[in-house]
Amino acid sequence: MFKATIFVTLKESVLDPQGVAVKNSLHSLGLENVHEVRIGKRLEVFLDQVDRKQAEAQVQMMCEKLLANPVMENYRYELEEVS
């Protein structure tokens, strides 16, 4: 089995309203020195019955078709074999 750890983050140029909301909440907690907050996703996907090459291809396909919006988001991933 393979475990893919996938990170999906907003592109630098894209406004992050969720990040702005969290920043404002942190300011109200007294953390006025919080300069910026950017929020992304971290996914763990476990893949059965594949070799590394197939797993690699599947991860790219799932990121491009479902997990990451190519217009606004970037993705990167780490792939490891697990028992």
- Which of 13, 15, 17, 33 binds its own copies (CB under 8 A)? It is 33
- Which of 11, 41, 60, 69 binds its own copies (CB under 8 A)? It is 41
**Residue 17: Cβ within 10 Å count:** 9
Confirm or reject binding of residue 72 to its own copies (CB under 8 A): no
Nearer to its own copies, 41 or 52 (CB): 41
- Which of 61, 69, 70, 81 binds its own copies (CB under 8 A)? It is 61
Q: Which residues bind its own copies (CB under 8 A)?
A: 1, 7, 9, 19, 22, 25-26, 29, 31, 33-50, 58, 61-62, 65-67
